[in-house]
């Protein structure tokens, strides 16, 4: 186990260590297997990071392991698109309500005449990608990539193995993209959008990257490590609203009940929680619960929220 020396309070490093020790031996959940690459990631990896708005941070465990960002990418594409079109337009074209169904549900889409309801289910995420102002696939991808890089404070790589694995097994998402098109909620070429979406999900990040991306939201849209503004201040609250309502798919309520913070998970095993004005927590552990959320990641976030009194509801 590795703890980086930092200037954070001892109680913070102690809480991280305790969370890691307590949950490292929890073997509940299973790696995602519908994307072949993800099934092969070692299931025992476990990292936890915390970063405060002044840039101080602490971490424990496998925080240098680069994993696939997957659905957490949806947060940062949303940030870019909010800066492009504004929150009102985003809310009228997509929304901020839970579907009550799994993240890749076609039923949810049919029930609402193609309206995706929120940008964190796959349908809404692809609709978000389609709203980004770009003429070509290359331009669309480069804008997304530049935004992620600014959030992380350095250039992030695409894991081409993840991309190839996902691109050859994403027929369900392609179906969703065409369905969105048929209902008028797809605002660019559906297959181009699906491909760019697949690429954004394949970006490789470490816990350290994720916590930096998250603390940039906690810090009102300014990356505390680079001091660069990466999203307009007025667009941070809409992002946190989406994370609060929809960040962990159809079990977002359970998460909020226990953690009391805006969050976002990905099927790569990453999970992010944001404490506005204070800090962000990032965790990584590949085995997922049935909704697709990291089991140990959720436990770690809950432990830190309780121990450090971070819940917005207390
Ligand atoms: N790339 C994944 C998919 O589209 C992302 C889903 C997730 O992390 N929940 O299915």
- Quick check: 5 pLDDT over 90? no
314 lies in some domain: no
| 106, 267, 291, best to mutate for ligand 1 pocket (most atoms within 8 Å of CB) | 267
Interval between CA 71 and ligand 1 midpoint (Å): 5
Residues 81 and 100 sit within 8 Å (Cβ to Cβ): no
Both 115 and 228 in one domain: the answer is no
Rounded to whole angstroms, how far apart are CA atoms 39 and 32?
6
Q: Are strands 47-52 and 57-61 parallel, antiparallel or unpaired?
A: antiparallel
Q: Ligand 1: distance of its center to the CA of 213 in Å?
A: 19
Last residue of a domain, one of 167, 202, 237: 202
Query: CB-based burial of residue 1 (10 Å sphere; 0-12 exposed, 13-18 middle, 19+ buried)?
Result: exposed
Q: Which of 75, 104, 169 to mutate to test the pocket of ligand 1 (most atoms within 8 A of CB)?
A: 104
Distance in Å, CA 107 to ligand 1 centroid = 17
Asked if pLDDT for residue 4 goes beyond 60, the answer is no
DSSP code of 275?
Answer: E
CA distance 287 to 273: 18
What is the token pair recorded at 177? 């993209």
CA–centroid distance, residue 7 to ligand 1 (Å) = 36
Same domain, residue pair 195 and 251: no
Q: The tokens of 49 are what?
A: 């990071």
Give the global pTM: 0.96
Out of 202, 236, 258, a domain closes at: 202
Q: What is the mean pLDDT of residues 252-264?
A: 97
Domain stops at, among 152, 186, 202: 202
107 lies in some domain: yes
Closest atom of ligand 1 to 173 CA is: 4
- The count of structural domains within the chain is 2
Residue with the nearest Cα to atom 7 of ligand 1? Answer: 71
Write the CATH number for 249: 3.40.710.10
pLDDT digits (tens, 9 = 90+) for 78-130: 999 999 999 999 999 999 999 999 999 999 999 999 999 999 999 999 999 99
Return the pLDDT at 2: 41
Tokens of 285: 């552990």
In a domain, 4, yes or no: no
For residue range 10-27, list pLDDT tens digits in order: 999 999 999 999 999 999
Whether 242 and 300 share a structural domain: yes
From ligand 1's centre to the CA of 119, what distance in Å? 12
The pLDDT of residue 6: 54
Domain range for 19 is 10-67+206-308
Residue 300, in any domain of the structure: yes
pLDDT tens by residue, 191-243: 999 999 999 999 999 999 999 999 999 999 999 999 999 999 999 999 999 99
Instruction: Name residues contacting ligand 1 (CB within 6 A).
Output: 70-71, 103-104, 122, 166, 173, 201, 266-267, 292
Considering the domain architecture, whether residues 195 and 81 belong to the same structural domain is answered as yes
């Amino acid at each position: 186990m590795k703890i980086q020396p930092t200037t954070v309070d001892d109680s913070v490093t102690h809480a991280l260590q305790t969370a890691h020790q307590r949950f490292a031996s929890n073997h509940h959940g299973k790696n995602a297997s519908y994307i072949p690459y993800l099934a092969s990631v070692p299931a025992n990896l476990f990292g936890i990071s915390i970063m405060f708005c002044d840039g101080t941070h602490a971490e424990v465990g496998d925080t240098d392991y680069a994993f696939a960002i997957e659905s957490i990418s949806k947060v940062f594409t949303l940030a870019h698109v909010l800066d492009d079109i504004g929150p009102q337009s985003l809310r009228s074209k997509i929304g901020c309500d839970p579907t009550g169904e799994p993240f890749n549900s076609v039923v949810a889409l049919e029930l609402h005449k193609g309206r995706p309801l929120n940008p964190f289910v796959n349908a809404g995420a692809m609709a978000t990608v389609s709203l980004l102002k770009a003429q070509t696939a290359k331009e669309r991808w480069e804008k997304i990539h530049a935004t992620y890089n600014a959030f992380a404070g350095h250039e992030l790589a695409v894991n081409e193995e993840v991309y190839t694995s996902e691109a050859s097994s994403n027929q369900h998402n392609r179906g969703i993209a065409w369905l969105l098109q048929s209902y008028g909620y797809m605002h660019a070429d559906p297959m181009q959008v699906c491909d760019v979406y697949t690429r954004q999900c394949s970006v490789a990040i470490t816990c350290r990257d994720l916590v930096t991306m998250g603390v940039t939201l906690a810090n009102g849209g300014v990356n505390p490590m680079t001091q660069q503004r990466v999203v307009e201040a007025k667009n941070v609250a809409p992002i946190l609203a989406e994370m609060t309502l929809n960040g962990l798919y159809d079990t977002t309520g359970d998460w909020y009940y226990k953690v009391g913070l805006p969050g976002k998970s990905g099927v790569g095993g990453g999970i992010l929680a944001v404490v506005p004005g204070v800090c962000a927590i990032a965790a990584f552990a590949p085995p997922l619960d049935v909704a697709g959320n990291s089991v140990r990641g959720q436990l770690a976030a809950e432990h830190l929220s309780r121990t450090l009194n971070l819940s917005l509801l207390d």
